[in-house]
Amino acid sequence: MRDRKIQLNLNGRSVSLVAGDNTTLLHALREYGLTSLKRGCEEGECGACTVIMNGLPEKSCLILVAEAEGADILTVEGLIKDGRLHPIQQSFIDEGAIQCGYCTPGMVMTTYALLLKNPSPDEEEIKEALSGNLCRCTGYLSIVRAVKKSARIMAGLSEGSE
């Protein structure tokens, strides 16, 4: 296995990682210290390792780190601005959408990608977007509420800033 150096824009900072050719982005980022990405199935079924890569939600267990060369990568760590949680994170707390927490970072990032593309999704669109993220604790109802609340808050915020 050959090691190579990979340059990434990770949560707004340029970083370089050294990783083997067949290392997944999940593994490389966890080794780097971003343990918010969780390993749940390693076959793209559970969504616990979801990151935003160049604006799109990607399951990092399915991506080789070499494919991420030069990419913009965002994780939950990068959502926090000036020590303040992102409205999506706050809504997940407020709506009781967190139990064990293992799926939470992936859920939050998938929600982020959804709202980036579609700022006011209806229930069906929310379900469609989150159908690749498994949660075994909450039964999803609180997660749907959290996504709706995030959308409302973010719409309010952008109106406020105009």
Partner 1 sequence: MLKSNSGESTNVVGKMVKRVDALEKVNGCARFAADIAFDGQIYCALVIAEKPHGILRSIDVSLASKMEGVEAVFTWRDIPGDNQLGEAIKDMPCLVKEGEKIRYWGDVVAVVAARDRISAENAAKSVRLDIEDLEPVLSIEEALEDRIKIHGGSNVKVTKLIRKGDPETVIKNSKEVFEGEFYAHYQEQAYMEPQGITVVPDLDYGYTVYGTMQCPYYVQSAVAHVLGLPMNRIRVIQTETGGAFGGKEDVPSYVASYAAVAAFNLKRPARLIYSREIDIQTTSKRHPIKSFYRVAMDGKKIKAIEVMAYMDMGAYATLTPIVMFRTLVHAAGAYDIENVNVDVYGVYTNKVPPGAFRGFGSPQVLFAVESMIDDIAWKLRIDPMELREENTLRPGSRTSTDHLIVESVGAPETLARVKESSHWKDLVKECIEFNRANEDKKRGAGLSHIFYGVSLGAGGQALDKSGAHVLINRDGSVEVRIGGTEMGQGAKTVIAMMAAEELGQRMERILVHQPDTAFVPDSGPTVASRTTIYSGNAVRRACITLKGKLISVFYDLFNSRPDKVKFCQGEVSDGEGRAISFDRLVDAAYVRNVKLFEAGWYDTPKLSFDMENGLGEAYVTYSYASQVVQVEVDMATGSTKVLKGFTAHDVGKAVNPDGVIGQIQGGFAQGMGYALYEDLKLRNGKIISDNFNTYIIPTIHEVPPELVIDIVEDAFSEGPYGAKGIGEPSLMPVPASVANAVSMAIGKRVRQIPVTPEYVLGLIEKKTD
Of 25, 73, 143, 151, the one binding partner 1 by CB under 8 A? 143
Of 133, 150, 151, 154, the one binding partner 1 by CB under 8 A? 133
Running DSSP on this structure, what letter comes out for residue 49?
A: T
Which one of the spans 34-42, 66-74, 114-122, 154-162 is the region binding partner 1 (CB under 8 A)?
Answer: 34-42
Of 14, 43, 160, 161, the one binding partner 1 by CB under 8 A? 43
Kindly tell me which of 70 and 80 has the beta carbon lying closer to partner 1: 80
101-130: contacts with partner 1 (CB under 8 A): 101-105, 108, 123, 126-127, 130
Q: Does 15 bind partner 1 (CB under 8 A)?
A: no
Q: Please give the torsion angle defined by the CA atoms of residues 143, 73, 78 and 10, in that order, rounded to the nearest 10 degrees.
A: 160
Size of the site for partner 1 (CB under 8 A): 50
Q: Does 100 bind partner 1 (CB under 8 A)?
A: yes
Cα separation, 132 vs 44, whole angstroms: 8
Kindly tell me which of 20 and 70 has the beta carbon lying closer to partner 1: 20
Q: Where are the alpha helices (DSSP H) in the chain?
A: 25-32, 76-79, 87-94, 104-117, 123-130, 141-161
Q: Where are the alpha helices (DSSP H) in 45-86?
A: 76-79
What is the residue type of 118? N
Kindly tell me which of 126 and 160 has the beta carbon lying closer to partner 1: 126
Cβ 62 to partner 1 shortest distance, Å: 12
46-65: contacts with partner 1 (CB under 8 A): 46, 48
Phi, psi of 15 (to 5 degrees): -135, 155
Helix (H, G, I), strand (E, B) or coil at 53: strand
Name 51's bridge partners: 58
